Amino acid sequence: MLSKKNKHYIIIDNSQKPTSFFLTPKKIIVFSISILSLCVILVFLSIHIFSDYIYNIKLTKLKKDNKELLSTIDNMENRIFKMQDNIVDLQNKDEALRTYADLPQIDRDVRQLGIGGKVIHKITKLDKFLPNDTLLISSLSRDLNKLEREIKLEKLSYEKIYNAIKNRKEQIQSTPSIKPINIGRISSYFGYRNDPFTHKRQFHYGLDFSAPTGTNVYVTADGVVGNVRYNHSYGKVIEVDHGYGYTTVYAHLKTTKLKKGQKLQRGDIVGTVGNSGRSTGPHLHYEVRKHKKKLNPLNFFFTGYLR
């Protein structure tokens, strides 16, 4: 045991009155332990503060990286949407060109699936790092895979169309492919409508183009004038036989100089817009027929697709 007689004195001179303290070994040990404990606490506090500092630096960097990631994902999403719009445009052109080349249309279900690959619905490891309202990486991946399949399908389809058009030049020249009028607007479409005279719902088998009287009307494909006549309903009407089963009709004309049997090339004038026959005002009634079946003329306006 420590001797109680062992004492250490500390004298402090404050220039007024000296002060002395005496320390026993026990006090020295207590004091040393206190100092050591204080040092340990300071070390732990320093480590904690430093750790927080490092954590905040990393957190700031992660937030910045996450913001950049979200921006990149948003940009990718917008690009995918634009690509999807372009694919839809290509599909519309493909359908028009297939009609033009007399090829069967691609089934809608086939278009939706495309060619190649598999449709996989799987959440990626990166998805869990994104906010709940953010488009998932897996969704972007599926969209890109779908676009890839659709592009492959369109590529094969265009190759088939190209070969068909290359081998059917004469037939293509005889296929209606332009609007019969350069100005005016479509006032009545192909399909059911209320008849302007009876006000009953009836099927309208063509397109009506409203235009000023005297506006030129053009033949939409190479052909031969099959008939020039006056009809109570259609008024002054011209039928053009294009061959390959195609016939076009131009009705309610004001004037025409064509005669039956006259040969025409696409873009030749067949007459002018009028108000003859059963009509409520100056307009052109235009029909497209194939093997006597009346088709929607809107499917035969390819000018914008063939440039």
Which class for 300: exposed (0-12), middle (13-18), buried (19 or more C-beta within 10 A)?
A: buried
Amino acid at 25: P
- pLDDT by 10s per residue, the chain, length 307: 444 555 555 555 555 555 555 667 777 787 788 888 888 888 888 888 888 888 888 888 888 877 777 777 777 777 777 777 777 777 777 777 777 666 777 777 776 665 554 444 444 445 555 555 445 566 776 777 777 788 888 888 777 777 777 767 788 888 898 999 998 889 999 999 888 888 889 899 999 999 999 999 999 999 999 999 999 889 999 999 999 999 999 999 999 999 999 999 999 999 999 999 888 889 999 999 999 999 999 888 875 443 3
Q: HSE on the CB side for 208, CA within 13 Å?
A: 20
Q: What share of the chain is helix, strand, coil (3-state, %, to 5)?
A: 40, 25, 35
CATH architecture of 185-305: Distorted Sandwich (2.70)
**Where does the chain hold its CATH 2.70.70.10 domain(s)?**
185-305
Res 63: pLDDT:
80
Res 160: pLDDT:
79
Contact 246, 175 (CB under 8 A): yes
Res 93: pLDDT:
76
Res 10: pLDDT:
54
Res 271: pLDDT:
95
Cα angle 274, 278, 282 (rounded to 5 degrees) comes to 25
Res 177: pLDDT:
87
Contact 258, 237 (CB under 8 A): no
Q: Where are the alpha helices (DSSP H) in 168-293?
A: 169-173
- Report how far residue 10's alpha carbon sits from residue 28's, in angstroms, rounded to the nearest whole number: 12
